Structure 1
Amino acid sequence: MRYRRRASPLHAARAAAGGAWCAAVAAAALSAEHPLVLAALALVVLAGAAGAGVGREVGKIVAWMVPWALVIAFVNMLVVRDGLTVLARLGEVPPFGQVDLTLEALVYGGQFGARLLLVAAAFAIFTVAVDPDDLLRLMRRASVRSALAATLAVRLVPVLAADAARIDEARRCRADGGGDGTAARLAVLRAVAGGALDRALDVAATLEVRGYGSARRRSGGSGVPWSRHDLAFLGSAVVLVALTVASRVAGFASFGTYPELHSSGVVEAVVLGIAYISVALLPLADRRGIVR
């Protein structure tokens, strides 16, 4: 899973705006308590991935995370003794003692698993829809050398992966089959590691010839004015954070599990969910000028 440029509003926005939007969606998911609000944020993530043209990539992450979310819910029901609504009594289970499975523990575990799933999906969108080069350019004012090192590392990872594939294919084409098992894998690993060191020396020599590291460089801004997509996603991120903070401070759309399930009401959850959906998806509706 890696970044590929696509014709979408999120891809057209600069990394600062797109990254802030993804982080705001993840923060809202971490803060949400009511199941209806979590469902609204799930719709935001799915619609956002589809609007950015990365639905397949994000879907793979979601499919991989769903079993973990279910495991979290099940384990929480097994280990947490709180809750008054008992679903099953398993009796004495050494070394845990008396084990009672409660509805409240199951709901809390499912709530936690859903949050984890939504955060993973939000950052999956960040990975495949936010330009990593543009993101690394944001580090120039803090540290030119760190940004350069991170850029080179990110760029060399797919190169080394391709080298490993070619070396492994050459090994398998040998008359004896190139061997099998741990020894063959170690041989490929040694070859790739040696190639990585050679590439590192070549890159270091090239950078030294070009004068990198010889003097502190000034790094100014890119000079590119903020587009309407930049402003839209950044504004959406700010409003999402404001909604999240305000709802938590005011106790709006709250939902509790222990000792019994209780909530502030369905109407509040629906209102907050609609607000999240409207604010988060509005920037994706403007598809003018998305190719640049």
Structure 2
Amino acid sequence: MRYRRRASPLHAARAAAGGAWCAALAAAALAAQHPIVLAALALTVLAGAAGAGVLREVARTAAWMVPWALVIALVNVLVVREGLTVLARVGEVPPFGQVDLTLEALVYGLLFGLRLLVVAAAFALFTVAVDPDDLLRLMRRVSVRSALAATLATRLVPVLASDARRIEEARRCRADRGGDGAAARLAVLRAVAGGALDRALDVAATLEVRGYGTARRGAVGARPWSRHDLAFAGSATAIALLTIVARTAPIAPFEPYPLIEAGGAGSAVALGVALALVALVPFTSRRGIA
């Protein structure tokens, strides 16, 4: 799963706006309590992935996370002693002790797993729809050297992995196989590390020749904010405000212990619809996405 430029409003937005939008959805999922609101956020993330043309990639990540969500629900129902609605009395189970499976623990575990799915899907959308190079350029305002180091590290990881594979294949082709076990792996690691240092020196020399570091900050004019930048930044702000209001009011509360107590379904549906609308409005503008 990797970023590839597509004709979509999210891809057309700058990294700061797109990244803030994805992070706002993930934060809303972490703060949401009611299952209806969580379900609405899950559908919103999938709808946003469809609008960005990356639904297959995001759905693949979500499907990969489903077993982990079920494991979390199972562990929660086994280890949590809270809840008054007993579904089954398993008895003494080392090392957990007396195990009583409760409905409240099961529901809370399922909600925790759903929250994990939504957050994973939101960050999968972030990975495939937010330009990593543009994201690294944001670090120039903090530290030019940090941005360069992060960029080079990101770009050189595949190169170093390819070097390691070639060196390992060459070692296996030797008549004595170059040794086995930890000593052989250490030799490969030493060769890759030496190659990495050589590459770093070459890159540093090339950047020095090209005048890197001589340009002053602000020499290049800032790119003006487009309609997509403003739309996703405004949507992220609206999502954050709705999340804060929903937690402080509170709107659509949900308490799993000791008995399941859920707020009105109407308020939960209204909050879910509001979050979906403010999150998906930026996708209605299709101009300038090529």
TM-score greater than 0.5 by the shorter chain:
yes
Give the drift of 1:208. 3.2
What is the aligned residue count?
289
Q: Partners of 1:33 and 1:93 in 2: how far apart?
A: 31
Give the drift of 1:171. 6.4
Question: Any residues of structure 2 matched to 1:110-259 within 5 Å, and which?
Answer: 110-167=110-167, 174=173, 182=181, 188-212=188-212, 217-219=216-218, 222-259=221-258
Q: Do the aligned partners of residues 180 and 244 (structure 1) sit closer, same or farther apart at CA in structure 2, a change above 3 Å counting? A: farther
Provide the residue aligned with 2:56 in structure 1.
Answer: 56
SS at match of 1:195: helix
Q: Partners of 2:231 and 2:159 in 1: how far apart?
A: 35
Provide the residue aligned with 1:9 in structure 2.
Answer: 9
Q: Partners of 1:67 and 1:179 in 2: how far apart?
A: 42
Identity of matched residues, %: 75
1:242 maps to a residue whose letter is L
Q: Do the aligned partners of residues 177 and 232 (structure 1) sit closer, same or farther apart at CA in structure 2, a change above 3 Å counting? A: farther
Residue 267 of structure 1 pairs with residue 266 of structure 2: yes
| Bigger shift: residues 80-89 or 281-290 | 281-290
Q: Do the aligned partners of residues 68 and 288 (structure 1) sit closer, same or farther apart at CA in structure 2, a change above 3 Å counting? A: same
> Conserved in 2, the CA contact under 8 Å of 1:141 and 1:220?
no
Q: Partners of 1:148 and 1:240 in 2: how far apart?
A: 32
| Bigger shift: residues 190-199 or 98-107 | 190-199
Question: Any residues of structure 2 matched to 1:93-104 within 5 Å, and which?
Answer: 93-104=93-104
SS at match of 1:139: helix
Give the drift of 1:105. 0.6
Give the drift of 1:182. 5.0
Q: Partners of 1:96 and 1:192 in 2: how far apart?
A: 47
Q: Partners of 2:256 and 2:148 in 1: how far apart?
A: 48
Give the drift of 1:249. 0.8
SS at match of 1:87: strand
Q: Mind listing any 5+ residue stretches in structure 2 that lack a counterpart?
A: none
Q: Do the aligned partners of residues 180 and 145 (structure 1) sit closer, same or farther apart at CA in structure 2, a change above 3 Å counting? A: same
Please, what is the CA RMSD of the aligned residues? Answer: 2.4
Give the drift of 1:269. 1.0
SS at match of 1:82: coil
Q: Deviations over 1:60-89 (max 9, x none)?
A: 321221111111111111111000111110
Provide the residue aligned with 1:285 in structure 2.
Answer: 284
Q: Do the aligned partners of residues 169 and 6 (structure 1) sit closer, same or farther apart at CA in structure 2, a change above 3 Å counting? A: farther
Q: Do the aligned partners of residues 208 and 155 (structure 1) sit closer, same or farther apart at CA in structure 2, a change above 3 Å counting? A: same
Q: Partners of 2:60 and 2:179 in 1: how far apart?
A: 30
Q: Mind listing any 5+ residue stretches in structure 1 that lack a counterpart?
A: none
Q: Do the aligned partners of residues 35 and 222 (structure 1) sit closer, same or farther apart at CA in structure 2, a change above 3 Å counting? A: farther
TM-score normalized by the length of structure 1 = 0.90
Give the drift of 1:176. 7.1
Q: Partners of 2:248 and 2:289 in 1: how far apart?
A: 37
Q: Partners of 1:63 and 1:181 in 2: how far apart?
A: 39
Q: Deviations over 1:210-245 (max 9, x none)?
A: 4445x6842467522111111110111011001100
Q: Do the aligned partners of residues 289 and 74 (structure 1) sit closer, same or farther apart at CA in structure 2, a change above 3 Å counting? A: same
2:147 maps to a residue whose letter is A
Provide the residue aligned with 2:26 in structure 1.
Answer: 26
Q: Do the aligned partners of residues 79 and 250 (structure 1) sit closer, same or farther apart at CA in structure 2, a change above 3 Å counting? A: same
Give the drift of 1:142. 1.4
2:81 maps to a residue whose letter is R
Give the drift of 1:192. 3.2
Q: Do the aligned partners of residues 105 and 151 (structure 1) sit closer, same or farther apart at CA in structure 2, a change above 3 Å counting? A: same
Give the drift of 1:14. 0.3
| Bigger shift: residues 242-251 or 186-195 | 186-195
